[in-house]
Every structure is written in structure tokens, then in C-alpha cells.
Amino acid sequence: MPDYKAPLRDMRFVLDDLLDAENHYAALQGRTEFDNETRDAIINEAAKLAENVLSPINQSGDAEGCKFVDGNVTTPTGFADAFKAYAEGGWAGMVATEEVGGQNLPASAGILVNELLGSANWAWNMYTGLTFGAVKCINEHGNDSQREVYVSKMVEGIWTGTMCITEAHCGSDVGQARTKAEPQEDGSYKISGAKHFVTGGDHDMAENIVHLTLARIVGAPEGTAGISLFIVPKFMPDSEGNPGERNPVFAGSIEKKMGIKGSSTCVMNFDGATGFIVGGENTGLQQMFTMMNEARLGTGLQGLCMAQLAYQGSLAYAKDRLAMRSLTGVKNPDGPADPIIVHPDVRRMLLTQKAFTEGFRAFLYELSFDGDKINNGATEEIQKAAGDRMALLTPIAKAFCTELGFESSNLGLQIFGGHGYVHEWGMEQIVRDCRISMVYEGTTGIQALDLIGRKVLGSGGELLRNYTKEIYKFCKANEADEALKEQVEQLLALNTQWGELTMEIGGKAENLDEIGAASVDFLMFGGYVAMAYTWLRMSKVAQEKLAEGTTEEAFYSAKVKTADFYFKRLLPRAQAHAQSALGGADCLMDMDEDQFAF
């Protein structure tokens, strides 16, 4: 497994040079001051936790995996100690409000820390990620008592949270959920049913686990309209708020998985367990989306984390591994062969990893800044604009970053050649760990339908128009810049094409299969355009730094060169997706089911 090193220089480039983080944070209302000094101190400490505590137990955690004995889950060696260090460091309460014992830092502070911890050990970090979502969900939708009893403990880092949504027969179609809730005289509910794929459903790292569970109250309407949300604790809190009587919600098994084996994925059986409703009846799905949207962005972050880890490993290997001679002459005369980084195809793979990794970071950090503005922007206008932008880009962030994060992970294995296929080098683990990212929290197909159906066509095109106008204004403001001119023209053309593509697909909407058939390619097209916009701005900033004079010429020059590679070698993929999106539904739907036989 590559020795993870926190990419602190690139993080600061995105925060300071591209996004002007200091002024962004200063403009927020109702959050603890988060100046550059405080931010850098937090990032540096998180980097130490990632590099020194979490990274060393990543590969061993994969080899050991979780153990399930007599209904109890034991995490791999070192995981519980790492979680204790995490709790004692105050990381769990970083972005929670002061009212529940948190530090009240801006929400985007969480993505900075989670990138570091997740890159070092994604399986371990999953236990903390859903807890952040549970805290936000209960804090926004729960009552004062629930915040006092449950949120405060999760913020303290001694309890964790889960999200219990999926059932075996329905997957993401939660309207088919059968888990039932029976009202009790004391205002509680008895929850009965089984939930599958529950991350962190049981483990040995926390005193208690708070299950946020979707269930249907007896007599409620069918479908999603009849879903309610409940808090179901593993142990019932006693009068002092400490874990008391065992609640009958048990792990029935843990999944034998392809990857992230250090993360317990449980089947949870609710055997008349006591639950407490969050908010009103039949509003559970809306409330759960608070948590699900957090999880979608967190999963998009996994694409960045896995791409980063794979790139670090493959770059070091490409510099060290000697094989064959350069096509243009010997580059390592003192050795029997040249390092493989001299070969054009190896450089193609490395640059693809670099372009995606650094592009994801800038894109996701900026999106997290939108999240800050939604709740803490200075005006309603700022809040709405950020909400619209985030609504449009969240499905792209989740799907595009995970699809290409997986590609980057595979390229890492490819650069290692045969060694990449062998466990000891750690590259095949990255591929296995990353593969789930395109599946959970809504598959790529579900994200694509959300984008084109709800966000684009559902808003009458308004959300997309707002974003394409933003791109257009940037391009027009920079079209006279000779250094950017060619890339500006390329992006302007694709930006216009995005609107035209939307109109053409939307014109077929009488047959909804046409929308479904076009959706994934439509999303991927948008992802490549959004990434081009991100890279164009990074190139502009880097060129300005070079023009001003800098002691970091190599760093900024690399940004310009990577942007050039993206526009010449990766952005052309967008046209293939556009053509496929217009390919229509007939070639998918005309075949009879029995013709699929083999």
C-alpha cells in the first residue's frame, strides 16, 4: 500500500489561490471564525492523524477485515484505537453547532479533513462519515430532547450514527419499504423489519450506535408518501443519557465484500425495537435527504481519495521502476533500463490521474463552499444561488467523480503492471475499495436521472442556465487572453452544446424512456464540461502567479501543463457522450426480453 502523504500544497492552492477561502469564510454568518491560520492548523493536525495513525492500518485492515461472532462485530486491529484518538482530538464535533457541543466551524471544513482521513483509510473513515450526516439530520429535524441526548454524544465522538434505508427486495426504491412502525402509548414506536447494507451497523469502537431508520407507520399511505424517520438506538439511553438497556436491533450478519473490508456492512434486524420519530409522520424521506445529500457528496469525495492514493503510489513506482529504454534515447545511462516514467503511455496514465485528482479537489471544495453559503450566506439571494448551484452539481459530483476515480484507480494498477495485481503492493485494494463508490448512495444511473429529470428538466432548465451563464461570463471575460484563448473557445462551444443537448433530449420527453436512455451520457458530458471550467480557472490563476514571479515556478507551471493535457486528451471524451446521449431509446428498448437469451 502506498505510504499516504497529505497533498497540503495542492489543498492550499485550491483554497487560497483559486477559491479565496479567507474572504469566503469571513463573509459567512453565524459560524466560528475560520481564518487561514486556524484552517492550516486543523489541516496539519488532520494530516498527522491520516499519515501516522490511519494509513498504517489501511492494508492490514483490508487483510484482517471485520469479524462477526454471536451477533457482534469486531473491527480490525488498530481501528478502535484510531477512533479513540479521533474522538479525543475533537474531530467529531468540528462542524456541529455550539448548542450541541460542537466547534461550529463551517461545513466545508469537514471536507478538508475527510479528504485527508479518507485517502489514508477509507474503510475506517466510513464510520465517521455517516455520523456527520446523522448529526446534521437530527440537529435540523429533531426536537430539543433528541439533540441533547443523541447529537451531543455523537459530537463528543463516543456514539456513532448510521443510515438504515435499504431493504433486500427494493434497493434504492425506498417506496417499497416494508419495515413497520407501531405507535405506543408513551409516544414511542415499535420498529420491526430488516435493513441491508447498513454501514457501521455494528462495531466495537463506540459506546452506542444511533440508527436513523426509515419505516412505515401502520396505516400510512403506500409508496414514499408513507415513509417516516426514526431514531433507533442500539442501547436505550438511561436517565443520565448513558447507554442502558439493550434495544432489540441486532446485526444479523455482515456482508462478505469485494472491498472496504475494514468497514462493517451489516444486515440489521429490528425485532420490535423502540424508536422515536424525527419530525412529523410521513415526512421521513425528505428528512433523510439531509443525510443522503451529505452522503452523496461524501461518496464523490471517495473518488478523489482513491484517485489521490492511487496516483501517489503509481507516481513513485513510475520514477523507480526500470524497464526498457526511452523511444528517443537513453535517459538513465548508469542503469540497465530507463524508469518507466519516460514512456509516453505511462505519462498518459499519470497525467490522467493527476488531471482528475486535482480537478476533483477543486470542484468538490468549491461545491462545499456552496454548502456553506446555503446555511450561512449573508443574504437570501446568496443562499438561494448557492442552493440552486449545489442542487445541479451534486449528482455530477457523486457520479462523475466516482466513475473517473475508479478509472484513476485502475490506471494505478496498470502502471504497476503485474505487481499491481498482487496484494502486497496495495494497488488492487484501492481498485476494490473504490468500486463500490459508483453503487452506493444512488448508482450512477440514479444520479443521472436526478440530474436530467429533477434538476434540469424539472426546473424548466433554470438551474442549468444559471450554471452555463456562469461559465459563459467567465469565458467572455477571458477570451482576449492569448494564453487561454484556445481553451476558452473550446469551453464556450461545449457550454453552448450543453444547452442544445438539453433542448434536443427534452424535446423527446413525451417518451420518458428517451430521458432514461440519454441520462448517464448527459451527466458525463456535463461532468467533463464542469471539470473543464474548473481547470480553465486553475490555469488562469497559475499563469497569473507565474507572471507575477514566484519561487514555485515548477508547481504553477505543472498546473498550466496539466490543464493543457485535460483540454487536449480528456475533454474530447465529452463529444462521444453527446453523440451517445442522442442515440435514442429505440436501440435499447426495441429488443424483446426473450431476445436477451444466450
Residues serving a catalytic function are: 441
Find out whether 71 and 250 touch, Cβ atoms under 8 Å: yes
> Which residue is associated with the grid cell 498482487?
422
Q: Distance (Å, rounded) from C-alpha 560 to C-alpha 540?
A: 8
Q: Distance (Å, rounded) from C-alpha 122 to C-alpha 55?
A: 9
* Alpha-carbon separation of residue 116 from 50, 175, 280, 421 (angstroms): 6, 36, 37, 25
Residues 6+ apart with CB under 8 A from 354: 311, 562
Residues pairing with 69 in the sheet? 72
- Return the sign of the alpha-carbon dihedral for residues 412, 415, 420, 421: positive
Find the length of the chain.
598
Find out whether 99 and 147 touch, Cβ atoms under 8 Å: yes
Find out whether 398 and 295 touch, Cβ atoms under 8 Å: no
Return the amino acid letter for 383: Q
| DSSP string computed for 196-231 | EEEETSS-SSSSEEEEEEEEEETTPPSSGGGEEEEE
Separation of CA 395 from chain center: 10
Cell representation of residue 420: 499491481
b/e string for 156-187 if b means 16 or more Cβ within 10 A? bbbbbbbbbbbbeeeeeebeebebbbeeeeee
Residues 6+ apart with CB under 8 A from 143: none
Residues pairing with 274 in the sheet? 190
Return the amino acid letter for 340: I
Cell representation of residue 136: 446534521
- Return the sign of the alpha-carbon dihedral for residues 83, 89, 91, 93: positive
Q: Distance (Å, rounded) from C-alpha 325 to C-alpha 76?
A: 44
Residues pairing with 250 in the sheet? 269
E-strand spans in 239-382?
A: 243-246, 249-254, 265-277
Helix, strand, coil percentages in the chain from 3-state DSSP, rounded to 5: 60, 10, 25
| DSSP string computed for 122-160 | HHHHHHHHHHHHHHHHHHHHS-HHHIIIIIHHHHHTSEE
> Which residue is associated with the grid cell 454524544?
153
Q: Distance (Å, rounded) from C-alpha 163 to C-alpha 131?
A: 9
Q: Distance (Å, rounded) from C-alpha 244 to C-alpha 48?
A: 36
Q: Is 370 helix (H, G, I), strand (E, B) or coil?
A: helix
Separation of CA 163 from chain center: 16
Q: Distance (Å, rounded) from C-alpha 192 to C-alpha 251?
A: 14
- The closest alpha carbon to 311, from 438, 413, 397, belongs to 413
